[in-house]
Structure 1
Amino acid sequence: MITIIGSLNFDLVTTAKRIPEGGETVGATNFATFHGGKGANEARAARRLSPSDVKVKMVGLVGDDTFGNELRAGLEKEGVDVSQVNYSDKRTGIATILVDAEGENRILVYPGANGDFSIDKVSEDLWAESEFVLLQNEIPLESTLEILKQAAKTVKTVYNPSPILDVPNSAYENVDYLIVNAIEAGIIAHNDGNSVQTQNDAEKVLDSLLDLGVRTAVVVTLGSHGAVYASKEGSERGFVSAAKVKHVVDTTGAGDTFLAGFISQVHQGKPLEESLQFATKASAIVVSREGAAASMPTLEEVLSS
């Protein structure tokens, strides 16, 4: 079973030719609502991109409100196990997303119920049921770190430290697969103040990230330029180019789909390179469509692309 522990948000997406400056009003070209949150996005993508016999479970909190009930029902309709998506006294988390004509997004997140999540919300039998546990940084950091510590005793852990926070180096000793983008890689690796921008830059920080104690592999994504990867034992290392996209519509959810696609393949025993090639195809489909949840492809779509 693939288990995702993390955030569930209701996304409010406004599209405009450009994003307004401070104090400025700009007319929007579209408005839409979507189911989101990095945790829920990864759960939905993992379900769509995994074979039907693979169980996917979402663990998190929503408010007892219209948004929360809709998020929970949406995941359940996808085939995700939501038996551990419970209710908080706070309102459901909200993400306000502004998207410009080039498809780039700016996101404001109100954590709401996600901010109440703690390890005592995780059932004791979850570790025995799960083979992989995926986490991000949209629930309280102390909860994420404690969950990583507990899960790492028996389960393969996957960590996408986004949004980037001040995570102690010791935490990475509880991570099997670390998935970071270029900005996150430079910050975590303490790259002497130098930003990670190119394939060469990313390849240089791979060893620094592995040296933090990551147990299996590190992947650094470079957006439209692809991704670099390295395994702990050194048998797998290289670069995977990004799949071509004719027109970028909306990048929301692309990173979550990439991660879920990658793990869906690793879960099946595929090597890192093949898993990343699959993940890049999946994320390329996402950016060519609007929204996060609605744009995520199925396993069949990726295999035929």
Structure 2
Amino acid sequence: MNTTRTAVTVVGSINLDLIATSERLPTAGETIGGAVLSEQPGGKGANQAAAAARLGGRARMVGAVGRDSAGQRMLDALGAAGVDTSDVTVLTEPIGTALIVVDRDGENQIVVCPGANAHLSLDGVEFGPEETVLCQLEVGLPVVLEAARKAQGFFVLNAAPAMDLPAKLLQRCDLVIVNESEYALIPALAEAKLVAVTYGGEGSAMFEQGRKVAEAPSVAVEVANTVGAGDAFCAALVLALRSGLDYAAALSVANAVGADAVGDPSSQPDLAQLGQYLEQTASASDAR
């Protein structure tokens, strides 16, 4: 594995997560009492940037926050994780907010209020040829399209939340990352050049133009919170692939990182260096 620190620039959302932890998720029209409320840094973009930095990448965040105390807290959290926040814009709009309900098994329901994320602009933002650019779909599609156009190097899209994607965007993607539900909701992904699909407890797989070319099993873990697990997986997979690992090894490492994140109640969990997960998965493979 190449030990040079991979440069990852994340273009995406920065949110304040308001999390209610309850025994179970409510049904439509139902009120449930006895939940515990917490606030923490979140947003798919920020989660992925924080994970990339903690795993050992050189992470830069391009996003927007509000000019309020919550916005400053989100910036402080990214900085503490080791993320370069010089391209995060501070706007008059309020911070993006995610309202999350998590049950005792770690399953969740999420409603996102975009706030400042809806006003993100890439004016003046440039990307170098050595940078991997990682986007999601919690910011406006025009911003993602602009990032894809401006990116000079490896371009990755975490296509979440699922939506119809323009053909020109998919053609630009060097890698698309989705979960199995998103893969089913976006039929055009069957023609994409490279797609990584996560299957929760069933592991993950890599597809080239709809043909499975690699897969890796999941890592058993006690679930605390699934909110940031997919984001940690995305960051780890990008770093692993860009470090020179083959598809199966990269998926294994990303699965191990995702499992670590599932066992942590935070949306931006503390993580080890990527090399430690590589050693862990190599040892597990040798033991089988």
TM-score normalised per structure 1: 0.84
Letter in 1 for 2:12: G
The corresponding residue for 2:145 is 145
Give distance in 2, aligned partners of 1:174 and 1:156.
Answer: 9
Aligned partner of 2:229 among 248, 254, 266: 254
The corresponding residue for 1:285 is 260
The corresponding residue for 1:38 is 44
1:21 equivalenced with 2:24 (yes/no): no
The corresponding residue for 1:170 is 168
Instruction: Say which is worse superposed, 99-108 or 127-136, in terms of deviation.
Output: 127-136
> 1:161 deviation in Å?
1.0
Is the CA contact (8 Å cut-off) linking 2:51 and 2:236 kept in structure 1?
yes
Instruction: Say which is worse superposed, 40-49 or 268-277, in terms of deviation.
Output: 268-277
The corresponding residue for 1:244 is 220
> 1:163 deviation in Å?
0.5
Q: Secondary structure of the equivalent of 2:50?
A: helix
The corresponding residue for 1:64 is 67
Q: Label 1:130 to 1:59 Cα distance change in 2 as closer, same or farther (>3 A).
A: farther
Q: Secondary structure of the equivalent of 1:41?
A: helix
Letter in 1 for 2:202: H
The corresponding residue for 1:200 is none
Task: Please tell me the root mean square deviation across aligned C-alpha atoms, in Å.
Answer: 1.9
Give distance in 2, aligned partners of 1:44 and 1:218.
Answer: 23
Give distance in 2, aligned partners of 1:161 and 1:296.
Answer: 24
Letter in 1 for 2:94: R
Give distance in 2, aligned partners of 1:129 and 1:56.
Answer: 15
Is the CA contact (8 Å cut-off) linking 2:214 and 2:247 kept in structure 1?
no
Q: Structure 2 unaligned segments of length 5 or more: list them.
A: 1-6, 281-288
Q: Structure 1 unaligned segments of length 5 or more: list them.
A: 191-207
Is the CA contact (8 Å cut-off) linking 1:14 and 1:28 kept in structure 2?
no
Query: C-alpha deviations, 1:7-41, integer Å up to 9, x for none?
Result: 00010111111122344321234221110000000
Query: C-alpha deviations, 1:56-106, integer Å up to 9, x for none?
Result: 100100000011101111111221110001111200100111001221000
Is the CA contact (8 Å cut-off) linking 2:16 and 2:70 kept in structure 1?
yes
The corresponding residue for 1:199 is none
Aligned partner of 2:18 among 7, 12, 21: 12
The corresponding residue for 2:285 is none
1:184 equivalenced with 2:169 (yes/no): no
Give distance in 2, aligned partners of 1:266 and 1:301.
Answer: 16
Is the CA contact (8 Å cut-off) linking 2:52 and 2:58 kept in structure 1?
no
Identity over aligned pairs, percent:
34
The corresponding residue for 1:263 is 238
Letter in 1 for 2:52: A
Is the CA contact (8 Å cut-off) linking 1:8 and 1:38 kept in structure 2?
yes
> 1:175 deviation in Å?
0.2
Is the CA contact (8 Å cut-off) linking 2:18 and 2:98 kept in structure 1?
yes
Query: C-alpha deviations, 1:184-210, integer Å up to 9, x for none?
Result: 1122226xxxxxxxxxxxxxxxxx62x
Give distance in 2, aligned partners of 1:130 and 1:9.
Answer: 28
